[in-house]
Amino acid sequence: MTEDVAWDYVKKRYRAYLYMYGDRQFLGYFQTPEDAYMARTASAWCYVHDFLCPESNEGRYPRLA
């Protein structure tokens, strides 16, 4: 199982990830696991919205030829 929120022993902060298109996208470092989880959840909602409502993304992403 993959972790979306993990503790970074070097930086002494929590880090958040989002998995998109089979790749792990780094979202940043956070003071608390709750903050990291909220950032991950917000990013996931944005990703789902972009997928479900492509007409709202005109000009936001380049079109594939």
Neighbour tally for 17: CB within 10 Å: 19
The residue behind tokens 């789902």 is 48
pLDDT digits (tens), the chain, 65 positions: 346 899 999 999 999 998 877 788 899 999 999 999 999 988 888 877 666 666 665 555 555 44
Annotated domain spans of the chain: 5-54
The residue behind tokens 């970074």 is 8
Give the separation between CA 38 and CA 16, rounded to whole angstroms.
9
Per-residue model confidence (pLDDT) at position 59? 56
The terminus-to-terminus CA distance of the chain in angstroms comes to 35
pTM of the model: 0.68
Give the separation between CA 35 and CA 1, rounded to whole angstroms.
21
